[in-house]
Amino acid sequence: MSLTAATSGFLVFLLAVPAFLLNLIVGSDVLCVTVVQGQNDWRVTYTSTWICALKGSTVNIRCTYRYPSRVNDNDYTVEETFWFTKESNGVYVDLRTDPEYAGRVHYHSDKNDCTLTITDLRESDSAEYKFRFITNQPGGRVIGSPGVTLTVTDFQVKVSRGSACSIQTCTWAKLQCHTSCHLPDHASYIWYKNGENIWKQTSSFSGYFYPPDSYSCAVKGYEHHSAPSVCVSGQSCNRVIYTDQSICAFRGSSVDISCTYNSNEPITSKFWFNLERSHRWRYSSQPEDLSEDSQYAGHVQVIETERGRSTLRISDLRESDSAQYHFTFKTQWFEWRSSLPGTTLTVTEVDRVMLATL
């Protein structure tokens, strides 16, 4: 083994080591090695090199880092640490300054431990995350590479169709609640029919399904990350699909909460509601239109610019607006139920620390 590149100011020794130790890019010159170890020990070690997480959930990406306190009579101290996914011509974009992660990224550091927390995960967050630290000495810039590959996925209802019914219009099918993330061996599943819990706890079940009905699923412990409702028989059925499962917004700002919906019968009424306001309803099991609630008077608006899509706009947000919002519709013979999670809104104060980094 030979040293192919060296940074000014210190000497690096290479030893045979376990494979889990990671490559490092050190200093203004690039030094790519399996591991850097010895008297001058520079290292970034990740707890995991691959993480699978559910859309809308929170993930913690952890690492530890080491560096020599003194090399060639020079004292080393860390002046800057950050995580990144993007690099161009030697410029690394700190996740805290990336608009795509605004308000969703937090760093935690305790001595030589480093943790990146990302909330409200999106599928676009799937990427390789790397940790970088910069010391006070020339050449003392280190990147842990390869980093941690994050895959963000969602639950899906997979449909395996069989033959059609001989008497009525229906389809035999098998439904499976699927995600590419590893789940506990004895996970308990939750199934929904037309937005209502039907109390089946297995990952799959079979039966005869009728065209108006839609189905969704989730796993106990992850109830707020349910699969989009699917039509089992045909392409059209009763269903509501929310654009976002969770939204974080600042106090005083405005937010749009949207969904798409479909009905097999003419709709007689439709509206948004806040389940936490049920104590104000005439009947606790019968949701009431949010736009008629005095708490929201003057700062809610329902917008429908296209058929089958509804948007609840809440302006001048208050912290009391933090809640889970649902959409429902009724026909002469049917009502969409609210056991399925809606969109959870969290209203918070502006983070002055975050604004300082923008």
pLDDT band for position 90 (50/70/90)? confident
Whether residue 64 has pLDDT greater than 80 = yes
Per-residue pLDDT, 351: 57
Give the 3-state secondary structure of residue 265.
Answer: coil
Is 13 contained in some domain? no
Task: Give 115 or 280, the one with higher predicted confidence.
Answer: 115
With a pLDDT cut of 90, the percent of the chain lying above it is 46
Task: Give 73 or 211, the one with higher predicted confidence.
Answer: 211
Domain end, chosen from 101, 136, 152, is at 152
User: How far is the C-alpha of 22 from the C-alpha of 28, rounded, in Å?
Assistant: 19
Is 44 contained in some domain? yes
Whether residue 304 has pLDDT greater than 70 = yes
pLDDT band for position 17 (50/70/90)? very low
Contacts by residues 291-300 (CB-CB < 8 Å, ≥ 24 positions apart): 295/320, 296/321, 300/272
pLDDT band for position 56 (50/70/90)? confident
Domain end, chosen from 237, 257, 283, is at 237
Pair 179, 148 in one domain: no
- Which strand (E) or helix (H) includes residue 216? strand 214-219
Pair 129, 186 in one domain: no
Per-residue pLDDT, 95: 94
Pair 68, 164 in one domain: no
> Worst-scoring range by mean pLDDT, 137-141, 215-219, 240-244?
137-141
Q: Which residues constitute the domain of residue 181?
A: 154-237
Pair 227, 258 in one domain: no
Pair 215, 314 in one domain: no
pLDDT band for position 148 (50/70/90)? very high
What is the mean pLDDT of the segment spanning 112-136? 92
Is 1 contained in some domain? no
pLDDT band for position 31 (50/70/90)? very low
Per-residue pLDDT, 30: 30
Pair 54, 144 in one domain: yes
User: How far is the C-alpha of 291 from the C-alpha of 298, rounded, in Å?
Assistant: 9
Domain end, chosen from 195, 218, 237, is at 237
Per-residue pLDDT, 167: 56
Q: Is 324 exposed, middle or buried (0-12, 13-18, 19+ CB in 10 A)?
A: middle
How many structural domains does the chain have?
A: 3
Longest Cα separation, the chain = 89
Whether residue 2 has pLDDT greater than 50 = no
Is 72 contained in some domain? yes
What is the mean pLDDT of the segment spanning 243-267? 92
What is the mean pLDDT of the segment spanning 126-139? 89
Pair 88, 131 in one domain: yes
Whether residue 310 has pLDDT greater than 80 = yes
With a pLDDT cut of 70, the percent of the chain lying above it is 85
Pair 126, 174 in one domain: no
Pair 135, 179 in one domain: no
Pair 161, 260 in one domain: no
Beta bridge partners of 65: 44
Pair 208, 279 in one domain: no
Task: Give 290 or 278, the one with higher predicted confidence.
Answer: 290
Pair 223, 316 in one domain: no
Show the tokens assigned to 252: 């005083």
Is 9 contained in some domain? no
Is 199 contained in some domain? yes
Please choose, from the candidates 87, 139, 95, 93, the residue with its C-alpha nearest in 3D space to the C-alpha of residue 114.
95
CATH number at residue 171: 2.60.40.10
Is 15 contained in some domain? no
Whether residue 161 has pLDDT greater than 80 = yes
Is 220 contained in some domain? yes
Q: How far is CA 129 from the centre of its chain?
A: 15
Whether residue 14 has pLDDT greater than 70 = no
Give the model confidence (pLDDT) of 279-299 as tens digits. 777 776 788 889 988 889 889
Q: How far is CA 155 from the centre of its chain?
A: 12
Average pLDDT, the chain: 82
